[in-house]
Chain A
Amino acid sequence: MTTLPPDQDIVFKGYDPEISRRLFAFLGPYRWRFSLAMVLMLISSAAAVAGPYLVKVAIDDGIGTGSIAILRQVVIFYLAIAIIQWIATFIRVNLMAQVGQSIIYDLRSQLFIHLQDLSLSFYSHYSVGRVITRVINDVGVLREFITWALLAVARDLFALIGIVIVMLSMNLRLSLITFTVIPIMIWGTTVFKKYARQNYRQVRAAISWVNSVLAENINGVRVVQAFSREDTNYHYFRDVVNQNNLDANLRAARIASAFPAMIDFLGAAATALVVWLGGMAVIRSVPGAADTITPGVLVAFLLYISRFFDPIRDLSRRYDSFQSTMAGSERIFALLDEPVEVQDAPEAVQLPKIEGEVHFEEVSFHYQDIDPTEGDQLVLEEINLHIKPGQTVALVGETGAGKSTLIKLIARFHDPTDGQILIDGHDLRHVSQISLRSQMGIVLQDPFLFNGTVAENIRFGHLEASDEEVSAAAQAVGADDFIQRLSKGYDSPVEEGGAVLSVGQRQLISFARALLADPRILILDEATSSVDTQTERVIQEALARLLHGRTSFVIAHRLSTVVNADIILVVHDGRIIEEGNHSELLALGGRYFHLYSSGFED
Chain B
Amino acid sequence: MRSLLRLRSFVQPYWKQVSLAFIALTFLTLISLAIPLIIRQVIDQGLVESDARLLITAAIILLVIGIARAFLIYWQRYLTERIAAQVGFDLRNRLYDHIQRLTFTYHDHAETGQLISRTIEDVRSIERFTGNGIVELIHLLLLFFGIVILLFSANARLAIIALLPMIPLVLVTSNFGRKIGDYFLKVDNSLGELSTRIQENVLGVQVVRAFAREPYEVERFNTANRILYNARISVIGEWSKIMPTSHLLVVLSTILILWFGGNLVIAGEMTIGGIVAFNSYLLMLAEPARQLTWLVNMAGEAVAGVNRTFEILDIEPEIQSPADAVTLPQLSGRVQFQEVALAYQGEASHALCEIDLTVEPNQVVALIGSTGSGKTSLVNLIPRFYDVNRGALLVDGIDVRDVNLESLRKQIGIVLQTSLLFSSSISENISFGRSDTTEFEIIEAAKAAQAHEFIESFPAGYDTIVGERGVTLSGGQRQRVAIARALLLDPRILILDDSTSSVDMQTEQLIQKALWELMQGRTTFVIAHRLSTVHRADLILVMENGQIVERGTHRELIAGDGLYREICDLQLRDREKFHEEVRVLDSPAATTYPSPKPQGWEAE
Contacts and interface: CB of A to CB of B under 8 A. Distances in A.
Given A94-B237, A283-B55, A583-B595, A210 B120 contact: yes
Interface residues of B, number: 188
B571 A64 contact: no
B582 interface: yes
A68 B201 CA distance: 71
B593 interface: yes
B516 to A, nearest CB: 11
A413 interface: yes
24 contacts: A71-B259, A78-B251, A88-B244, A93-B239, A101-B236, A105-B226, A120-B206, A220-B420, A225-B101, A227-B432, A227-B489, A268-B66, A269-B66, A271-B62, A275-B59, A434-B212, A440-B212, A442-B211, A504-B371, A532-B529, A533-B529, A597-B582, A598-B505, A600-B578
Contacts of A93: 236, 239-240, 243-244
Among A94, A214, A223, A252, the one with the most B-chain Cβ atoms within 10 Å of its Cβ is A223
A264 B245 contact: no
B48 A487 contact: no
A29 interface: no
A35 B42 CA distance: 45
A504 B372 contact: yes
Among A250, A595, A600, the one with the most B-chain Cβ atoms within 10 Å of its Cβ is A600
A502 B351 CA distance: 11
Given A101-B233, A221-B99, A544-B601, A596 B578 contact: yes
Interface stretch (B172-180, B438-446, B471-479, B518-526): B471-479
Contacts, number: 521
Nearest to A93: B240
A482 interface: yes
Contacts of B575: 600
Given A82-B251, A238-B96, A283-B55, 18 more contacts: A55-B258, A68-B266, A75-B255, A112-B221, A120-B209, A128-B199, A135-B198, A210-B120, A218-B100, A220-B420, A225-B409, A227-B433, A271-B62, A295-B272, A495-B109, A532-B368, A544-B603, A564-B597
A2 interface: yes
Interface in B60-92: 60, 62-63, 65-67, 69-71, 73-75, 77-78, 81-82, 85-86, 88-89, 92
B532 interface: yes
Interface stretch (B12-20, B111-119, B144-152, B331-339): B111-119
B465 interface: yes
B168 interface: no
A105 B344 contact: no
A440 B210 contact: yes
B211 A460 contact: yes
A86 B247 contact: yes
B498 interface: yes
A496 B506 contact: no
Contacts of B279: 55
A428 B76 CA distance: 67
B8 interface: no
A101 B221 contact: no
Given A71-B262, A242-B89, A257-B81, A411 B209 contact: yes
Contacts of B120: 207, 210-211, 214
B598 interface: yes
B390 interface: no
A71 to B, nearest CB: 5
Interface string A537-576: 1001100110010000000010110011000000000000
Among B66, B247, B531, B575, the one with the most A-chain Cβ atoms within 10 Å of its Cβ is B66
Nearest to A435: B212
B434 to A, nearest CB: 9
A115 B347 contact: no
Given A226-B416, A265-B69, A269-B66, A448 B203 contact: yes
B214 interface: yes
B604 A257 contact: no
Contact of B107 (A222, A279, A295, A598): A222
A599 B275 contact: no
Nearest to B434: A227
A533 B570 contact: yes
B96 A237 contact: yes
A63 interface: yes
B468 interface: yes
Nearest to A375: B471
Contact of A234 (B35, B55, B96): B96
A269 B60 CA distance: 9
Interface stretch (A3-11, A156-164, A318-326): A3-11
A597 B578 contact: yes
Given A276-B59, A280-B52, A399-B504, A253 B82 contact: yes
Contact of B505 (A374, A440, A599): A599
A86 B244 CA distance: 5
Contacts of B531: 533
Contacts of A526: 502
